[in-house]
Structure 1
């Protein structure tokens, strides 16, 4: 057998690889401040691309007008809630700091409504007031350092708000650019993936887009619906700072913790303050809002991609813990692409014998 004798210039290969590595590292270093904003914009554009096409059809096929409309929608959905959150934080921050600095201003309620509870109401009322008379002020004094630490933690988190606003602004800018040149960018990514792994690479890119839409529909839309409905209930029941609590509920819903972590304390506060009627109304409304995701999320996820529910939820929670908010999309995409590629690879082989005894007999023959 004849072997072709190829002469390899080892120093040339080494310096070539070194040059490519240095250029790659330098490029990543240059674009590092924009990576998070661009990744966020990519997820948003992929998830909302079908909506862009429909808007473009309604606007006489003008892509420029459709891009303007979608950009305004992004500003309405992202920039406006952040502005409301910042405004609420500024308005409510001063009373919190004042309260933390002077524990005497923390006054526990009298809970007069305990008298209305049959049989045990008077006993609870007397016990509560015995606690207040005997050590209420001492209890407040012990709680004051923890309140101060909470206020300090909030202040530290607020220091990172400028960076988050910058990424949000970059997201809107990059989204407008991707909306205008989406076909060219998508074809370039598919071409690169095809160069890496032929048909499987192209299929992986398409599957990634389906997974992003599935997460956007099943997780984000469900979180928006639950947060809005929960916020409406809080506002109608007269809960203070309903706007701020709605934003908190949206964050909890996206993190798969649910809105009840906000609604249940609000219900307790209503009963605590003696407003039992609205407390009961909010309790019933919370039962509806808290269980809505069990019905809405599976339907929306199936509309985006036919993927196992446990895979999507594992990707959402794991991605959130690993990468932060952007991990809500990165985690499910990674798991979905891996799942489909492994499924295709396994399906290329014939299925094993259904009868395990026949399979064992064949194994004995191979010995």
Structure 2
């Protein structure tokens, strides 16, 4: 007995798939401004989750108090230094650009302290001045116009204060939500991973969380040690605005740029 052939409504299927694709693109377009903040929050929460559990035990088992303390710590470690740094850069942008752009402000240093270096000091000093006399001043004159352009570019990048502070605020908000409902979110992600890859999917999620925590803690702890040592050195040397520069060192170390730039 021949089976009846099923009839497919091809235009209906095409329009249905097209509508689903349009909805996916529209949803991604709506949540796009929040993706970066949520990614930051996810990494921060995964890295500091053991600290949250310890605080919860110390605060009589109350999750709300632990979330409040962790939120304040995030403000002190991330939001406050970035805000102070951006405010300082914007406030001092005009004198910096004027100084870097005006001719005659930059001079090749004499570096007389090279003579005090044991054994090779005099040779280094002589070689340096030979290089300068051979055309160093002309090279500096040619490079001079680019200093102002470079300073203007850096200030323009720092002037996007609204976007950066928005991402920081979103990171803080999402971090507080994840701290409060972390177990439920982690369980949902693990269930989704099990549906995708069975036991291997669950193991991949756990391994990813451990890797994020290990890398983040290593970077943050190293950045804290470097910034504290750098701040102590700046304070002993009498460098002005040592506190602000210490915050900048911490941000550079977290970004894997190192303290040498400061």
Distance 1:116 1:229, change over 3 A: closer
- Tell me if 1:67 matches 2:67: yes
TM-score (norm 2): 0.81
Distance 1:257 1:32, change over 3 A: closer
Count of aligned residue pairs for this structure pair: 259
Query: What does residue 207 of structure 1 align with?
Result: 207
Query: What does residue 290 of structure 1 align with?
Result: none
SS for the counterpart of 2:23 is helix
For residue 194 of structure 1, report the CA deviation from its aligned partner: 1.8
Query: What does residue 159 of structure 1 align with?
Result: 159
Q: Deviations over 1:57-100 (max 9, x none)?
A: 11111111111111111111111111221233135433322212
Query: What does residue 95 of structure 1 align with?
Result: 95
For residue 112 of structure 1, report the CA deviation from its aligned partner: 4.5
Q: Distance in 1 between matches of 2:196 and 2:120?
A: 73
Query: What does residue 226 of structure 1 align with?
Result: 226
Q: Distance in 2 between matches of 1:56 and 1:78?
A: 22
Query: What does residue 262 of structure 1 align with?
Result: 261
Query: What does residue 22 of structure 1 align with?
Result: 22
For residue 127 of structure 1, report the CA deviation from its aligned partner: 7.7
Q: Distance in 1 between matches of 2:120 and 2:183?
A: 69
For residue 134 of structure 1, report the CA deviation from its aligned partner: 9.8
Structure 1: any 5+ residue segments left out of the alignment?
A: 264-367
C-alpha contact 1:194 1:202 (8 A) present in aligned 2: yes
SS for the counterpart of 2:147 is helix
Q: Distance in 1 between matches of 2:243 and 2:215?
A: 25
SS for the counterpart of 2:104 is helix
TM-score (norm 1): 0.60
Structure 2: any 5+ residue segments left out of the alignment?
A: none
Q: Distance in 1 between matches of 2:193 and 2:173?
A: 26
Query: What does residue 174 of structure 1 align with?
Result: 174
For residue 163 of structure 1, report the CA deviation from its aligned partner: 0.9
Distance 1:159 1:87, change over 3 A: closer
Q: Distance in 2 between matches of 1:119 and 1:244?
A: 38
1:112-261 aligned within 5 A = 112-114=112-114, 116-117=116-117, 140-259=140-259, 261=260
C-alpha contact 1:88 1:241 (8 A) present in aligned 2: no
C-alpha contact 1:104 1:137 (8 A) present in aligned 2: no
C-alpha contact 2:41 2:175 (8 A) present in aligned 1: yes
Q: Distance in 2 between matches of 1:46 and 1:113?
A: 49
C-alpha contact 1:104 1:140 (8 A) present in aligned 2: no
Q: Deviations over 1:299-326 (max 9, x none)?
A: xxxxxxxxxxxxxxxxxxxxxxxxxxxx
C-alpha contact 2:81 2:248 (8 A) present in aligned 1: no
